[in-house]
Amino acid sequence: MNKKILILPGDYIGTEIMAEAVKVLELLKAEGEKIEWSFGHLGGAAYDAEGHPYPPSTQKAACEADAILMGAVGGPKYDSLPRAVRPEQGILGIRKDLGLFANLRPALAYEELAAASSFKPEVIAGLDILILRELTGDIYFGQPRGRRSNAEGAEEGYDTMHYSRPEVERIAHVAFQAAQKRNKRLCSVDKENVLETSRLWREVVIEVGKQYPDVALSHMYVDNAAMQLVKNPKQFDVIVTGNIFGDILSDEASMLAGSIGMLPSASLDVNNKGLYEPIHGSAPDIAGQGKANPLATILSVGMMFRYTFNRADLADRIDAAVKQVLRQGKRTGDIAQPGERIIGTKEMGDAVVAALKK
């Protein structure tokens, strides 16, 4: 039976970068891989077409799919909509609905792009870290939340941060197992000196760690982690953290890789069904101009083969093809140095497909 992939291009550059990822799928299908795909709406595109950022048609298709590829959602066109129908609710909705609690965000410094990073080459050379972000809990989804008037009668907004023991346990297991497959070092990031949520988080991570004696576990406060990531990022192997801290730290870590346009991500459920997306946004400023870097989306296809379809061979091939086009000097604007020839989205996609061909 064919593996079913649901493609949700999303908004602005989402459609442009996804077209290049589809070229990769087409090549693999032509080689005989048993895959098929269909398209759906998410985010602003879904609001335009069906009046909701995560409409029932997408929900149904997402449940039926084996894996989901997403572009990017959001943008100025939708900024003035009420919160409940803003594009962000599309991505938050699908994560929660499908139970995609484990968000893998690798940050890899490509040798070829060292000059595109704002860091000194020696700080990032050879950098390879994995940020594991819990994705369906924390202050993102905590209740109660809303507006009220406080004791002094002033209007206030409030949110609730919480994690339950089972929620921390399951992300901790994923983290330890990921560390076992890498350099066996895990750093858990929290704010245990201030937050009750973090105190429980740390206790549970330590407990789960007893089952993984081969992994060296350390702990770091999130403010220090933000500092250490730019001071000496190579001290990290796997970082595990909650939803909001992971949101912030993963954007920070993306700069180590030279460009946010290079980083893929995977969001997995308990059975490794996953949603795969570049970690960058919909880049309204360059949309429709054929300038966007499709590599993070193409690398997301690689992660899909690695984690959901258990095809490390194909994932390795896609990763190698991306490295090869970088070695060939192919550069979209975001990763080009002054004086380098800049190519467009399509040309970059075609270069990867050419490098992929056996």
What is the contact surface with ligand IPM in residues (CB under 6 A)?
74, 88, 91-92, 247
Write down the least CB distance from residue 126 to ligand IPM, Å: 25
Write down the least CB distance from residue 321 to ligand IPM, Å: 25
Residue 357 a catalytic site member: no
- Using the contact rule CB under 5 A, the part of the chain among 38-46, 79-87, 228-236, 241-249 near Mg ion is 241-249
User: What does the H/E/C string look like for the chain?
Assistant: CCEEEEEEEECCHHHHHHHHHHHHHHHHHHCCCCEEEEECCCCHHHHHHHCCCCCHHHHHHHHHCCEEEEEECCCHHHCCCCHHHCHHHHHHHHHHHCCCCEEEEEEECCHHHHHHCCCCHHHHCCCEEEEEEECCCHHHCCCCCEEEECCCCCEEEECCCCCCHHHHHHHHHHHHHHHHCCCCEEEEEECCCCCHHHHHHHHHHHHHHCCCCCCEEEEEEHHHHHHHHHHCHHHCCEEEECHHHHHHHHHHHHHHHCCHHHCEEEEECCCCCEEEEECCCCCHHHCCCCCCCCHHHHHHHHHHHHHCCCCHHHHHHHHHHHHHHHHCCCCCHHHCCCCCCCCCHHHHHHHHHHHHCC
Q: Which of 128, 251, 269, 350 is catalytic?
A: 251
- Using the contact rule CB under 5 A, the part of the chain among 73-81, 243-251, 309-317, 331-339 near Mg ion is 243-251
Nearer to ligand IPM, 131 or 168 (CB): 131
- Per CB under 5 A, does 340 bind Mg ion? no
Write down the least CB distance from residue 243 to Mg ion, Å: 10
Residue 302 interacts with which of ligand IPM, Mg ion, none, CB < 5 to 8 Å by class: none
Contact 176, 206 (CB under 8 A): no
- Per CB under 5 A, does 169 bind Mg ion? no
- Closest to 142 in 3D by CA, of 119, 124, 167: 167
Residue 97 interacts with which of Mg ion, ligand IPM, none, CB < 5 to 8 Å by class: none
- Per CB under 5 A, does 350 bind Mg ion? no
Residue 140 a catalytic site member: yes
Write down the least CB distance from residue 218 to Mg ion, Å: 24
d(CA 54, CA 41): 8
- Does the annotation flag 239 for ligand binding? no
Nearer to ligand IPM, 89 or 117 (CB): 89
Exposed e or buried b per residue across 238-252, where buried means at least 16 C-beta atoms within 10 angstroms of its C-beta: bbbbbbbbbbebbeb
Write down the least CB distance from residue 73 to ligand IPM, Å: 7
Q: How many CB atoms lie within 10 A of CB 205?
A: 21
Write down the least CB distance from residue 106 to ligand IPM, Å: 14
- Using the contact rule CB under 5 A, the part of the chain among 162-170, 180-188, 240-248, 315-323 near Mg ion is 240-248
Residue 223 a catalytic site member: yes
Q: Which of 97, 128, 159, 247 is catalytic?
A: 247
Q: Which of 23, 138, 163, 191 is catalytic?
A: 191
Q: Which of 12, 54, 110, 140 is catalytic?
A: 140
- Does the annotation flag 10 for ligand binding? no
Residue 88 interacts with which of Mg ion, ligand IPM, none, CB < 5 to 8 Å by class: ligand IPM
Residue 234 a catalytic site member: no
Nearer to ligand IPM, 250 or 308 (CB): 250
Residue 11 a catalytic site member: no
Contact 90, 64 (CB under 8 A): no
Contact 117, 298 (CB under 8 A): no
Residue 92 interacts with which of Mg ion, ligand IPM, none, CB < 5 to 8 Å by class: ligand IPM
- Does the annotation flag 291 for ligand binding? yes
- Per CB under 5 A, does 247 bind Mg ion? yes
List binding-site positions for NAD(+). 75-88, 281-293
List binding-site positions for Mg(2+). 223, 247, 251
List binding-site positions. 75-88, 95, 105, 133, 223, 247, 251, 281-293
Catalytic residues: 140, 191, 223, 247, 251
